[in-house]
Structure 1
């Protein structure tokens, strides 16, 4: 069959994302004998017109839409991205194409029935599209019973029915190498120094209270062969000339031995890579891991500790202790790998005391040359531990199983107060970045890329952001903003100042 696959993700903060997962599905469909075209709308200025043209030229018999995000994933200033997907992608697809349309992707893996209802469509896939999508096309071609297709969600006589078991590829080593250039124009991604995303495994058995990974990918690890991973990366680098690779596992270094084997396989390839990962957990680190990361070509890492308070780490369901966080910080500085640390404020039990503990940990453990990204508020998603807790205490907390944004509100402090405290602290530290889309400049990444290119220094672009904040501090701009903040919120400022005094006295 002729199949048009559409990347609906037009959200480009903090950077555009290459639709690698959609290309994995395209590769699987071609291996099954289908003719596939991918329409990437990430940079489209006229998505409806591009959809109409693609349908008119390619003449598909079936159409699949990949949906990456329900929203921007934060608990404060949440942007409901599904509305944009519906208006700019789904409705134009329905106007241009009268045949069967199916949706999939990570967002659908979280809330498939609710998304199907919201978009007013008939078909969705929950889980791995590489096996579910060919099975669905087989149903369309032969008229076979679709009831046995894993992960299939469908509308029957107005009622949405979902297969209880998501689609899971049992052996990831059976998947073929994905040739990105076959499906995508990578030029705009390359110009913005975007990374190619690679998974060394799927699944996550951890129990972070807010996280959706184990719903999307399953609750056990499905590991890929390290040699195959290295071969795939070698092929992608040669074909795309992009050397920036990002490991997008839930946590790269669990299991620890598997991560080390992947690094050893890459070291043996001598590929001159610029590697990064969105997930290092302090619960599985040692000196050898950092030695191998350095040798393999890691130029930056992300560490989502989420809190610098022992009480908050327990509240968030983390698999590591504060001592392990401090040990990880020591290794980061010892091996001089640039690091972005992520903090999530506003978990159950958050107080002025726990906030103070987190900022104290930042000061004593994290290098001022490394960036600390602060998010305020937990966006609650269907099926997560915090969602189940909230529904147990308030059955009316959501009318649609948390499809539309709902944020957790701590008992002791409201989210607005926590955000104001974070704003106080951000103005005291040039390396602290408060994640708030309302403050984002649309050309920030392009400007930082240009600044790095001009400087000739091959380092993370966020290092230039820190330098910009340092210049603002020397010029007195941030000092003036601190004074204005104190004047606008005198009572909160005094409470926060007293919490620092109490913390110092208690030591």
Structure 2
């Protein structure tokens, strides 16, 4: 296809039910730039699995779009999500003292791997179906999974396929204009099967993204109202200047933060709330606030929301380095429902992972929130996403984390503090991957998309000797939590809080005196200067 497109069918590949924000933003942008183009959104997540293939075929044949754009969110097997809990499975397989649970976990693991393998093969089969039914149409594949594994995806796609990495607006606009002047970061597989890479010449100008025209989106998206009772994602910026060792945001979106117009962001939220009755908003930025400049941008958005009297509950991943009492008050007044942030109780771990913030500054920001909450603090939760057993973790650093959590219990009340247990997922082309390769933890030439369960377990980083102790503490807490859910007469607690308390007891039993564990390998510390916007 070399002529300008007249129609686009967006196909959201099956995933758990979560708002398809990326597809919506691209479709809205294309409509505003090229209003004559017909567009439709087909969300396969909303269609029963046995009917998905037939529905896709029906829409392809009835609509016969010039461009078929697939959105692929998830590709790796180790990521826990609402449709499976890989973390529980791995913990039971590795650390359960009950043989039958380890056998059950092994069977569940096989099921998870099988489901991912089948889903991957099915998605590629649907790309081939689109090419078979519409030989003259151009195929586009984008989404989170593709942004990480773009070259791999491109190699397995049919001919005349554009695989978009990261932002999709510029690439899609060039595609609908005939693809004579390709734009955006993408791979292209031509008619001869050759794959070429076109890096983005510059980042997309986010000031061009005005408030989404939800009336138009509803007209092209039959499943639109199915999402209105849940959480809707809104983004305010792209790019991340930080260099966290396990994260790819700064590569996918770039290291320079770019901002949407605060008035347009607030208008978008106002429409969702006042026209469609949406009550819950998740800000989908890498971090809603992080640098000094982005904190000013956040404050302008909050001012706009308050001026429009928008009544929503909102949250997003936060950095609190530059929080002020005034911004804290505005956050609470505009509907902040939880403080979600990365948390570890020692500066050593923060620095080893190059998270780029100061622990004492973070704790001071928590106190600002406490002081700003004149009334009704019990409506907000403190959600601590803790990368346990990260490289450099020792019994001492774990104890320090527990001590900091107790400070937060005292500050906000124990029931309002929710520690989330997670382990670092090793992604390709990140600093932590290179360190793990250099140390021999991962073999050179390993496949990050492998279906080998023993490699997959390594990609969910939780090594010896602390890994087993953490795993057993988690399983013990999970068992108590399960009994509580079943109505048994036992003392129960939120699983994250219980895990940390059980783990502290186990640490005191195994390491009764101060203990400093030798690091498995050294990590070069390169802390991004706080507040630097490049």
Q: Where on the TM-score scale, by shorter chain, does this alignment land: which range?
A: 0.7 to 0.9
What SS is found at the alignment partner of 2:387? strand
Which of 300, 308, 326 does residue 363 from structure 2 map onto?
326
Q: Check whether the contact 2:266–2:304 (CA below 8 A) recurs between aligned residues.
A: yes
RMSD: 3.4
Q: Check whether the contact 1:264–1:292 (CA below 8 A) recurs between aligned residues.
A: yes
Is 1:316 the equivalent of 2:316? Answer: no
Q: Aligned residue for 2:388? A: 345
Is 1:4 the equivalent of 2:9? Answer: yes
Q: Aligned residue for 2:24? A: 23
**Deviation, structure 1 residue 422:** 3.5
**Deviation, structure 1 residue 88:** 4.1
Q: Check whether the contact 1:125–1:153 (CA below 8 A) recurs between aligned residues.
A: yes
Q: Write the distance in 1 (CA, Å) between the matches of 2:188 and 2:28.
A: 24
Which of 183, 203, 220 does residue 149 from structure 1 map onto?
183
**Deviation, structure 1 residue 288:** 1.7
- CA offsets per residue over residues 21-69 of structure 1, 9 Å max, x none? 1011112222323211100112221211221222122222221111122
- CA offsets per residue over residues 106-150 of structure 1, 9 Å max, x none? 22222210232355664201122111012123236xxx3x6x432
Q: Write the distance in 1 (CA, Å) between the matches of 2:169 and 2:68.
A: 15
Q: Write the distance in 2 (CA, Å) between the matches of 1:235 and 1:376.
A: 35
- CA offsets per residue over residues 294-318 of structure 1, 9 Å max, x none? 111222231222x223322222212
The alignment covers a number of residue pairs equal to: 444
Q: Aligned residue for 1:53? A: 58
Q: Aligned residue for 2:443? A: 396
Q: Aligned residue for 2:105? A: none
Q: Write the distance in 1 (CA, Å) between the matches of 2:47 and 2:298.
A: 37
- CA offsets per residue over residues 435-463 of structure 1, 9 Å max, x none? xxxx9xxxxxxxxxxxxxxxxxxxxxxxx
Runs of 4+ displaced beyond 6 Å: 470-473
Q: Write the distance in 2 (CA, Å) between the matches of 1:287 and 1:493.
A: 34
How has the CA–CA distance of structure 1 residues 478 and 293 changed in structure 2, closer, same or farther, with 3 Å as cutoff? closer
Is 1:62 the equivalent of 2:62? Answer: no
**Deviation, structure 1 residue 269:** 0.3
**Deviation, structure 1 residue 331:** 3.7
How has the CA–CA distance of structure 1 residues 390 and 161 changed in structure 2, closer, same or farther, with 3 Å as cutoff? farther
- CA offsets per residue over residues 228-282 of structure 1, 9 Å max, x none? 21122222333422132221111112321111111111100012222222x1113
Q: Check whether the contact 1:114–1:400 (CA below 8 A) recurs between aligned residues.
A: no
Which of 487, 490, 495 does residue 476 from structure 1 map onto?
490
Q: Aligned residue for 1:293? A: 331
Which of 388, 393, 406 does residue 363 from structure 1 map onto?
406
Q: Write the distance in 1 (CA, Å) between the matches of 2:174 and 2:450.
A: 27
Which of 233, 248, 253 does residue 289 from structure 2 map onto?
253
- CA offsets per residue over residues 400-434 of structure 1, 9 Å max, x none? 45676551646653644432233446678x7xxxx
Q: Check whether the contact 1:9–1:69 (CA below 8 A) recurs between aligned residues.
A: no
TM-score by length of 1: 0.77
Spell out the pairing of 1:75-154 with structure 2 (5 A cutoff). Answer: 76=87, 77=90, 83=117, 85-98=119-132, 99=134, 100-118=138-156, 122-139=161-178, 144=180, 148-154=182-188
Q: Write the distance in 2 (CA, Å) between the matches of 1:96 and 1:354.
A: 53
How has the CA–CA distance of structure 1 residues 223 and 58 changed in structure 2, closer, same or farther, with 3 Å as cutoff? same
Unaligned 5+ segments in structure 2 are: 1-5, 81-85, 91-108, 516-534
**Deviation, structure 1 residue 20:** 1.4
Q: Check whether the contact 1:126–1:167 (CA below 8 A) recurs between aligned residues.
A: no
Q: Write the distance in 1 (CA, Å) between the matches of 2:508 and 2:210.
A: 56
How has the CA–CA distance of structure 1 residues 174 and 218 changed in structure 2, closer, same or farther, with 3 Å as cutoff? same
**Deviation, structure 1 residue 325:** 3.3
**Deviation, structure 1 residue 201:** 0.6
Which of 309, 317, 320 does residue 270 from structure 1 map onto?
309
Q: Aligned residue for 1:229? A: 265
How has the CA–CA distance of structure 1 residues 380 and 276 changed in structure 2, closer, same or farther, with 3 Å as cutoff? same
Q: Aligned residue for 1:465? A: none
Worse overlay, 160-169 or 262-271: 160-169
Unaligned 5+ segments in structure 1 are: 431-438, 440-467
**Deviation, structure 1 residue 340:** 1.9
Q: Check whether the contact 2:263–2:304 (CA below 8 A) recurs between aligned residues.
A: yes
How has the CA–CA distance of structure 1 residues 472 and 313 changed in structure 2, closer, same or farther, with 3 Å as cutoff? farther
Q: Check whether the contact 1:127–1:167 (CA below 8 A) recurs between aligned residues.
A: no
Q: Write the distance in 2 (CA, Å) between the matches of 1:315 and 1:424.
A: 29
How has the CA–CA distance of structure 1 residues 301 and 257 changed in structure 2, closer, same or farther, with 3 Å as cutoff? same
What SS is found at the alignment partner of 2:425? coil
Q: Aligned residue for 2:44? A: 41
- CA offsets per residue over residues 320-340 of structure 1, 9 Å max, x none? 233233223334444223232
